[in-house]
Structure 1
Amino acid sequence: MSDIVSFDSATFRRVLGHYPTGVCVVTAVEADATPIGMVVGSFTSVSLDPPLVAFFPAKTSSSWPRIEAVGKFCVNILASDQRPVCRQIAGPGPDKFTGIAHRASANGSPILDNVIAWIDCTLDAVHEAGDHYIVLGKVVALEVDRPERPLLFFQGSYGEFSLIA
């Protein structure tokens, strides 16, 4: 079997962009009480027993090494009206949390106000996967805060889910 690839990265991204993903913010707090956050569109449940979730940060991420060093994190599932929160957390700079209300999870990680749900985790494992990592988190607590429509990423844009009757 051959490993010959007959497409480029732009084609790969374009084709997979036809699959919508939810938008989450992964948060943690450093020892000096500095909150850290990164936007991920690649989050999934993995296992019920033990309860595990996963996300896939790029190896080029500047936030992921800081979250990894903390060893615990909270996944915040954004609602469709939280696009400004998404943009702010995704942006560069140290002031990602300015004006974004949040409370501490049992693990001390930020739970952003008005998210649909949150999943509090301890770091279980990290595996290399091409130009990304596969991060497994062991779930220690979780809850639905606001049952709303999720923020979705689809074909390079943000949007929301609409139910068909």
Structure 2
Amino acid sequence: MTTIDPRALRNAFGTFMTGVTVVTSHDADGNPLGFTANSFTSVSLDPPLVLVCLANSSQNYDALTQANGFAVNVLSEGQKDVSNTFARPVEDRFSAVNWTKGPHGSPVFENVSAWFDCSMHQTVPAGDHVILIGKVEAFDTSTAPGLGYSRGAYVTPAAEAEALRRGAKLVVSALISRGDEVLMVDDGLGGVTLPQMPVGAEGATAALTRLIAEAGVPADPGFIYSVFEDGAREHQHISFLCQAGEGAPKQGSFTELSKSTLMDVADPALRIMLERFAGENRLGNYGIYFGDQISGKVRPIMSGS
């Protein structure tokens, strides 16, 4: 019987749970099957349980609900083609990836960020889906950056990281959106701004996590939306687009980005960024800006369709 290290498993969950995944198993004849999933969640560390959701209408419904297990493959940033292949009705999906049988028997992919090979613990009917709960029998992780997917587009760390300049004094802001509104806070000068703070030794991710906690609303840390160098104040500004849940914020308020609201944003670079966001948010089509506070370029995020 394989022993799972809870600390190693917890670290793996914390690193990879937001990535694009492909769930794999075998049918009754031993043929491999799989599909791209966007609902991979940890359930428990003791015992080590994870869950994925499968539509009742899936052609793999019978095979997966009757299988003795499944694997979750967390794709790396260079595997967008694998994600697309397993999201479509392709005849031989597995020809697009190198794979082997995992320790418990389900297909695990090469060059992924992580994989979790699970025995079937329980199946739970849930409306038009069924929840597959698996017990992690074996797993492995790598240093390959994960492939993200947010609001209809793939997001890769490499595309975002190239906009950052090492050694810069960094300021992080949280562009926390809910529908057509954005969380705005008092700038102390009679206007409004985004929640923001200088980045200390803990790094940008920790600063963003702190901003979201201080805002007091549930929000998922999102992708880098804008990076610009502010020459006047000698720092580099990074703004993360985050999606908020329900609830009233502890500070500031959710505000529609009307002309009057934008006029109250004193920082011209932030005002221009928010004007761009207002337009992109209506279309659901986002890009990543990098440049300075005056001019730069917007890199479109590759669509997942």
Alpha-carbon distance between aligned partners in 2 of 1:64 and 1:90, rounded to the nearest angstrom:
15
Q: Contact 2:28/2:63 (CA < 8 Å) preserved in 1?
A: no
Q: 1:35: how far off?
A: 0.8
Matched, 1:113 2:113: no
TM-score normalised by structure 2 residue count = 0.45
1:70 equivalent in structure 2:
67
Bigger CA radius of gyration: 2
Residues 22-43 of structure 1: per-residue CA shift (max 9 Å, x gap): 2111111234331101110100
Residues 2-30 of structure 1: per-residue CA shift (max 9 Å, x gap): xxxxxxxxxxxxxxxxxx94211111123
Alpha-carbon distance between aligned partners in 2 of 1:101 and 1:93, rounded to the nearest angstrom:
16
Which of these residues, 145, 150, 161, is aligned with residue 149 of structure 1? Answer: 145
Alpha-carbon distance between aligned partners in 2 of 1:105 and 1:48, rounded to the nearest angstrom:
20
Matched, 1:94 2:91: yes
Instruction: Indicate the RMSD between aligned Cα atoms, in angstroms.
Output: 1.9
The 1:49–1:107 alpha-carbon spacing in structure 2 relative to 1, beyond 3 Å, is same
Which of these residues, 81, 85, 97, is aligned with residue 84 of structure 1? Answer: 81
Letter in 1 for 2:87: A
- The alignment covers a number of residue pairs equal to 145
The 1:61–1:150 alpha-carbon spacing in structure 2 relative to 1, beyond 3 Å, is same
Runs of 5+ consecutive residues of structure 1 not aligned to the other structure: 1-19
Q: Contact 2:111/2:144 (CA < 8 Å) preserved in 1?
A: no
Q: Contact 2:82/2:96 (CA < 8 Å) preserved in 1?
A: no
**Structure (1 or 2) with the greater helix fraction:** 2
Identity of aligned residues (%): 39
Runs of 5+ consecutive residues of structure 2 not aligned to the other structure: 1-16, 162-202, 205-305
Superposed counterparts of 1:1-165, under 5 Å: 21-144=18-141, 146-161=142-157, 162=160, 165=204
Letter in 2 for 1:157: A
Secondary structure of the structure 1 residue equivalent to 2:64: helix
Alpha-carbon distance between aligned partners in 2 of 1:109 and 1:71, rounded to the nearest angstrom:
9
Residues 86-122 of structure 1: per-residue CA shift (max 9 Å, x gap): 1111110331111421011112211111111110101
